[in-house]
């Protein structure tokens, strides 16, 4: 006869058997604890478009692949550096994780991978299909929270970060818009408001034939010629050289800085190359030295004031950019006072009636009472 005590023992035995079965079953599934690819089957080489959102309300950076090249569709098709696209997609293709770090939608906002609250949102187009990826905040040592759109699972992965998915156009293009080696520049002309300022590099002095050679048959080694004196720029304003007053001199360091600003122009963002430039704020012309028997064509750059930036366009290229005003203000406002060093002010003379220094202590007469 089964007593109540026996029934309790049987029930406990059944529970133990069930637990053993569960443990044995899970123990065979060791693969669930191993890391696996988050985006199984993702092929970075087949991606043709990437839209990068820095916030839910910001316009995306739109990268599009045209033939074999990437362009910034959101920035007047400005050329994109392909290596930067590769650096973004390669880690995404390799993302791996074991179990999710979160499986409920309530955690998405906390980890900054929610539909409207994220560090970066990427819409990646491949073979005509869109894949949405949310990149969030840090989720452990060297791991970032990542969620695939349309799912609740959040994974902690390495190699991917919001910083690697730049939310500004200039982060995807070559930051240098124009660059001419300083030593190749022969003349710079700045035209603005009907005024013309020119900076001309004097031609290097010719070395006399046979200079520096040793005596014939003497066996002595060749003596190098003496170094040439530095060749400074010669500025002219309205076609006339600058007349220097007594004590004034050309500010060669300031002129060199102006030349450096023109030789290398960095962009802040791409701009519309089709903008009307018939009446520019200024025009900068850069003449280059002859290369062998050929003389390179001059570089002509139109500049238009645009808020806190300048719209800049090299007439020889199909691209234009915006440049921070601080980078070109000195060049466009160049005038005599910025090219000339004033003489040092005379030393102040002693004031009339100033008290003369008294005798050294202990050497003078004692003061007498009045």
The structural domains of the chain, with segments of one domain joined by +, span 36-168, 176-202+233-341
Q: Over the stretch 130-166, which tens digit does the pLDDT of each residue have?
A: 999 999 999 988 899 999 999 999 999 999 999 999 9
Mean pLDDT for the stretch of residues 27-54: 85
pLDDT at site 293: 84
CB-count burial class (<10 Å; 0-12, 13-18, 19+) for 208 = exposed
User: What is the phi/psi pair of residue 322, to 5°?
Assistant: -100, 140
Q: What is the pLDDT of residue 230?
A: 57
**pLDDT at position 292, please?**
84
- Rounded CA Rg of the chain: 37
What's the rounded Cα separation, in Å, for the pair 126 and 123?
10
Non-local CB neighbours of 213 within 8 Å, separated by 6+ positions: 222, 223
Q: Which residue has the higher pLDDT, 296 or 209?
A: 296
Q: Which of 59, 61, 146, 161 is nearest to 107 (CA)?
A: 146
User: How much is the average pLDDT of 171-183?
Assistant: 96
CB atoms within 10 A of CB 304: 18
Task: Give the model confidence (pLDDT) of 309-328 as tens digits.
Answer: 999 999 999 999 999 999 99
| Per-residue tokens: 57 | 């309300």
- Please give the Cα distance from 84 to 98 (Å, whole number): 28
Res 229: pLDDT: 53
pLDDT at 370: 44
Q: What is the pLDDT of residue 265?
A: 97
The Cα 331–Cα 259 span in angstroms is: 8
> In the predicted model, what is the mean pLDDT of the chain?
87
CATH code reported for the domain at 176-202+233-341 = 3.30.1490
* Residue 188 pLDDT exceeds 80: yes
Distance CA(122)–CA(231), nearest Å, equals 54
Angle at 271 between CA 269 and CA 274, to 5 degrees: 170
Q: What is the pTM of this model?
A: 0.77
Could you tell me the sign of the dihedral formed by the alpha carbons of 259, 260, 261, 266, in that order? Answer: positive
Give the length of the chain: 370
Determine the Cα–Cα distance for residues 174 and 270; give it in Å rounded to an integer.
10
Q: Is 18 exposed, middle or buried (0-12, 13-18, 19+ CB in 10 A)?
A: exposed
CA distance 10 to 345: 109
As a whole number of angstroms, the distance between CA 158 and CA 94 comes to 9
- Residue 328 burial (10 A CB sphere; 0-12, 13-18, 19+): buried
Lowest-pLDDT choice from 14-18, 213-217, 225-229, 284-288: 213-217
pLDDT, position 216: 47
């Amino acid at each position: 006869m089964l007593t109540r005590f026996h029934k309790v023992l049987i029930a406990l035995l059944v529970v133990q058997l069930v637990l053993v079965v569960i443990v044995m079953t899970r123990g065979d599934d060791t693969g669930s604890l191993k890391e696996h690819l988050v985006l199984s089957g993702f092929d970075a080489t087949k991606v043709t478009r990437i839209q990068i959102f820095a916030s839910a309300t910001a316009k995306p950076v739109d990268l599009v692949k045209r033939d074999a090249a990437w362009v910034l569709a959101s920035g007047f098709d400005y050329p994109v550096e392909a290596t930067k696209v590769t650096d973004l997609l390669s880690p995404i293709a390799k993302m791996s994780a074991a179990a999710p770090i979160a499986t409920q939608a309530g955690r998405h906002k906390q980890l900054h991978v929610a539909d409207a609250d994220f560090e970066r949102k990427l819409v990646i187009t491949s073979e005509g299909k869109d894949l949405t990826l949310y990149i969030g905040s840090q989720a452990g040592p060297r791991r970032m929270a990542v969620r695939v759109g349309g799912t609740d699972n959040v994974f902690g992965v390495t190699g991917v970060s919001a910083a690697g998915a730049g939310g500004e156009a200039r982060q995807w293009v070559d930051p240098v818009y124009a660059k001419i080696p300083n030593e190749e520049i022969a003349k710079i002309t700045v035209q603005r408001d009907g005024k013309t300022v020119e900076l001309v590099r004097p031609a290097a002095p010719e070395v006399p034939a046979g200079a520096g050679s040793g005596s014939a048959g003497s066996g002595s080694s060749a003596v190098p010629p003496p170094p040439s004196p530095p060749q400074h720029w010669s500025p002219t304003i309205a076609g006339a050289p600058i007349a220097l007053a007594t004590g004034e001199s050309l500010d060669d360091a300031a002129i060199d800085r102006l030349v450096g600003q023109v030789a290398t122009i960095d962009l802040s963002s791409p701009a519309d190359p089709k903008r009307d430039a018939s009446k520019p704020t200024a025009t900068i012309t850069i003449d280059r030295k002859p290369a062998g028997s050929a003389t390179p064509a001059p570089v002509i750059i139109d500049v238009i004031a645009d808020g806190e930036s300048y719209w800049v366009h090299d007439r020889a290229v199909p691209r234009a950019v915006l440049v921070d005003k601080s980078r070109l203000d000195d060049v466009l406002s160049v005038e005599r006072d910025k090219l000339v060093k004033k003489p040092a002010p005379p030393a102040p003379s002693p004031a009339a009636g100033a008290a003369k220094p008294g005798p050294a202590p202990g050497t003078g007469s004692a003061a007498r009472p009045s």
